[in-house]
Amino acid sequence: MDLFDDPAPGGNSPEFTVTELSGAIKRVIEGEFAHVRIRGEVGRVSRPRSGHVYLDLKDDRSVISGVIWKGVTARLETQPEEGMEVVATGRITTFGGQSKYQIVIEDIKPAGMGALMALLEKRKAALAAEGLFAPERKRPLPYLPEIIGVVTSPSGAVIRDILHRLRDRFPRKVLVWPVAVQGAKCAPEVVRAIQGFNRLTPGGALPRPDLLIVARGGGSVEDLWGFNEESVARAAAASDIPLISAVGHETDTTLIDFVSDKRAPTPTAAAELAVPVRHELAAWLEGQGARMRQALSQGLTRRGQRMRDLARALPRADTLLEGPRQRLDRGGEKLAPALIAGVQGRRVKLADMSGALRPGTLRRHLEADRQRLAQISARLDPAWQRNLAGQRERLAARADRFHPEVLQRQILRRRERLLDRTQTFRPEVLVRDLSRQDQRLKEMLARLARAGRADQDRRRRQIDAMGRTLGTLGYRETLARGFAVVRGDGDVVTSAEAAQNAAHLEIEFADGRLAVKGES
């Protein structure tokens, strides 16, 4: 036996804490890969409330995580979207909290023209599916707007071309909202300009335009990309003011062209679409006025000729008065005989009526009325006597009801009924009633107790039967037949791989549990 044991291999290696080892790996990786450019496809994209962007860059075999800090995200010209092929520039670093490495992206651009066009087609298909390109939602442009709002750069040739063309055709009031027409600031500034014009109050201190023109000169796809952003297209589609898009040359097409109410091939053409030519409009108005005057003159001439033709067809005034004049003469001839005949007829009627009013006739009528009055008077006295006798009999009958003897008999009958009722409340009667009620209560309590015991017995039998069924179906009966339950880290283990990875392993038999792993 040796006096000294040989040291184990590697026993003199230095010990690192987890943080020290993680920091060493971080320094090695960041020192080896200071700045890199990676080409790949954007996978998962996450945008939490913090404003940072987390994403995956992948190819057909590998994936690397990436992060874009909030300040960098605001400066990017192209925002990453899932499925987009990009070239990302940044530095490789590690994240010790999850033992992973990642790229901190400082710039990201589409990987060539093909990626930009693919992204553009994807956005176009999504907006078309929502119906933003539908022709029925496009509104007609005002024929002669009072105020025109222009969204463009104030320093370029575009605004000068638009103002010059408007001045030549039909001068109008123009409000210019200056924006950046390319770069990272282009899309948000154009969106704010469209929304700002729509928020103006009609007739206010700064009046609201009747028509909007979004204009920019020609350029490459990258230069025009700000007008392909989804936010710009949605702002143009949501505008309550009719909008003309004049972005690029005639061959350039952007997303705002599809959602705008009218597309102009150039900014100058947009000004031509916005207003008519003033001298052409004046000539047209003059021609319309001449046509109206000619039509009015011809109408008056035709109506005068028609009136003269109708006047010739009408009879003369003397001819129209001949018939009424003859009828008046005949009526005058018949008036005197008619008056005489009327007077004679009324005289005959007066003579007939005066014969009926002679004194002898009146005396006969008066005598007949006097006889009828005597007959009625003879019948009135007996009737009054009979009515008086009936009234006296009814009064006597009512007086009998209040006689002292009658009242005394009524009082006696009511006293007898009251005594009969008081017999019911005597003590012996109440005691008998209480005894009967107590007996009935005892019988009901006995019946209730018997019913409760029967229900308890029935429920106890049900619980016993359910317990026997539970015991038959439980896993402990299975353990009694020679089976066992394996648990790892407190959970049931159902595979060999899970048992191998478990820190603590325990087997349960029918008569107890046995620890086979993790116990010293």
pLDDT, tens digit, 9 for 90 and up, residues 126-152? 888 998 889 999 999 998 999 999 999
* pLDDT reading at 12 higher than 70: no
Question: What are the residues facing 147 on neighbouring strands?
Answer: 173
pLDDT of residue 238: 92
* C-alpha count within 13 angstroms, C-beta hemisphere, residue 404: 0
* C-alpha count within 13 angstroms, C-beta hemisphere, residue 268: 9
Helix (H) or strand (E) holding 73: helix 70-73
Average pLDDT over residues 299-306: 91
* pLDDT reading at 118 higher than 80: no
Beta carbons within 10 angstroms of residue 113's beta carbon: 11
pLDDT, tens digit, 9 for 90 and up, residues 340-366? 888 888 888 887 777 666 777 777 777
122-126, 228-232, 492-496, range with greatest mean pLDDT: 228-232
Angle at 232 between CA 177 and CA 51, to 5 degrees: 105
Of the listed ranges 180-194, 217-231, 461-475, the least confidently predicted one is: 461-475
Cβ–Cβ < 8 Å for 67, 52: yes
Classify residue 9 by its DSSP letter.
T
The whole-angstrom separation of Cα 202 and Cα 224 is 32
pLDDT of residue 3: 47
The whole-angstrom separation of Cα 119 and Cα 136 is 26
* pLDDT reading at 520 higher than 50: no
* pLDDT reading at 257 higher than 60: yes
Q: Which amino acid is at 299?
A: G
Q: Which amino acid is at 209?
A: P
Q: Alpha carbon 222 to chain centroid distance?
A: 40
Give CA separation, 46 vs 51, 109, 312, in Å: 10, 18, 95
Query: Torsion-angle region of residue 489: left (phi > 0), alpha (psi -120 to 50) or beta?
Result: left
pLDDT class for 102, splitting at 50, 70, 90? confident
Cβ–Cβ < 8 Å for 65, 30: no
Cβ–Cβ < 8 Å for 131, 137: yes
pLDDT of residue 163: 92
Give CA separation, 467 vs 171, 443, 461, 464, 482, in Å: 97, 36, 10, 5, 22
Query: Between 136 and 516, whose confidence is greater?
Result: 136
> b/e for 187-206, b at 16 or more Cβ within 10 A?
bbbbbebbeebbebeeeeee
pLDDT, tens digit, 9 for 90 and up, residues 368-414? 887 887 777 777 777 777 887 787 787 777 666 666 676 677 777 77
* Straight-line distance from the first to the last Cα atom of the chain, in angstroms, rounded to the nearest whole number: 28
Q: What are phi and psi of 334, to 5 degrees?
A: -85, -10
The whole-angstrom separation of Cα 130 and Cα 117 is 20
* pLDDT reading at 511 higher than 90: no
Q: What are phi and psi of 377, to 5 degrees?
A: -65, -40
Statement: the pTM of the whole predicted model exceeds 0.75: no
Give CA separation, 234 vs 131, 165, 198, 258, 260, in Å: 11, 29, 14, 11, 10
R_g of the chain computed on alpha carbons? 59
The whole-angstrom separation of Cα 342 and Cα 338 is 6
* pLDDT reading at 334 higher than 70: yes
81-85, 225-229, 318-322, 376-380, range with greatest mean pLDDT: 225-229
Question: What are the residues facing 110 on neighbouring strands?
Answer: 86
Give CA separation, 71 vs 52, 68, 75, 184, 253, in Å: 8, 8, 7, 13, 31
Helical ranges in 275-358 per DSSP H: 278-313, 317-355
Cβ–Cβ < 8 Å for 112, 129: no
Q: Considering only CA atoms, which of 14, 84, 12, 2 is closest in space to residue 43?
A: 84
Of the listed ranges 26-40, 169-183, 221-235, 412-426, the least confidently predicted one is: 412-426
